């Protein structure tokens, strides 16, 4: 009977061990501190000044790389006002150059020279990403929506324009940030087939927080 009791205790211990090992653990449940990264990308009352590169793609005969600068002021954390300036280094693409060499004609599309727009940005979400686990490097970012109205200056005049699209504001350090925008641009131009020119203006800029 003593042997039977020992065997029963041994079987009970072995059957309970996996259940204890498989029991889920909750961080901090055992009294260990849990580190929560606080929000560091704070915009209210600050000016974000940026400068960088972009490309104005309109599906016409021109290549339009550009230099861009913007200044954004956030009176509230959720959104801010922005002034944007772009200068385009436009030139005829391969297809446009071939047509010009053969016929002496240039496209009826206007060649973009510059863009000036004013508008606003609204933060629709906030997130964090770990970029270096060894140094515990975390980048904080805002997912934004932006809209602007302005003027596109071309080789033939000035065209009213409307811009709208998503954006991403990333905190690189306490003073430095990066901004990625992919707006859709609508411009009114007098062409032979249509008076509305549609394009994309993806831009990547770097800047400082003032």
**CATH number of the domain residue 156 falls in:** 2.40.160.20
Q: Look at residue 25 in the predicted model and tell me its pLDDT.
A: 54
The number of domains in the chain is: 1
Within-domain flag for 33 = no
| Residue pLDDT, tens place only, 39-69 | 889 999 999 999 999 999 988 888 999 999 9
In terms of phi and psi (left: phi > 0; alpha: psi -120 to 50; beta: otherwise), the region of 157 is left
Within-domain flag for 40 = no
Residue 196 has pLDDT above 90, yes or no: no
Residue 159, strand partner residues? 152
Residue 137 has pLDDT above 90, yes or no: no
Within-domain flag for 26 = no
Within-domain flag for 3 = no
Give the residue, 153 or 91, on which the prediction is more confident.
153
What share of the chain in percent tops pLDDT 70?
75
pTM of the model: 0.77
Nearest-angstrom CA–CA distance, 40 and 179: 16
Residue 100 has pLDDT above 60, yes or no: no
Within-domain flag for 16 = no
Domain containing 68 equals: 47-209
The chain-wide mean pLDDT, for the chain, equals: 84
Q: Look at residue 7 in the predicted model and tell me its pLDDT.
A: 45
Within-domain flag for 55 = yes
């Amino acid at each position: 009977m003593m042997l039977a009791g020992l065997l029963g205790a041994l079987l009970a211990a072995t059957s309970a061990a996996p259940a204890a090992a498989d029991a889920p653990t909750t961080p901090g449940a055992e009294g260990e501190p849990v580190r929560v990264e606080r929000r560091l990308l704070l915009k209210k009352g600050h000016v974000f000044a940026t400068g960088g590169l972009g490309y104005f793609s309109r599906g016409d005969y021109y290549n339009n790389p550009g230099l861009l600068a913007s200044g954004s002021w956030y009176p509230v954390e959720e959104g801010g006002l922005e002034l944007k300036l772009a200068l385009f280094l436009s030139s005829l693409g391969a297809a446009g150059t071939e047509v010009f060499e053969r016929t002496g004609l240039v496209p009826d599309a206007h060649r973009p020279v510059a863009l000036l727009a004013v508008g606003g940005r609204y933060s629709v979400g906030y997130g964090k990403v770990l970029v270096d686990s060894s140094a515990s490097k975390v980048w904080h970012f805002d997912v934004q929506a932006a809209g602007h109205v302005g003027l596109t200056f071309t080789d033939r005049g000035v065209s009213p324009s409307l811009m709208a699209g998503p954006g991403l504001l990333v905190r690189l350090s306490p003073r430095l940030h990066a901004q990625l925008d992919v707006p859709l641009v609508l411009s009114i131009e007098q062409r032979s087939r249509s008076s509305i020119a549609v394009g994309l203006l993806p831009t990547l800029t770097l800047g400082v927080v003032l």
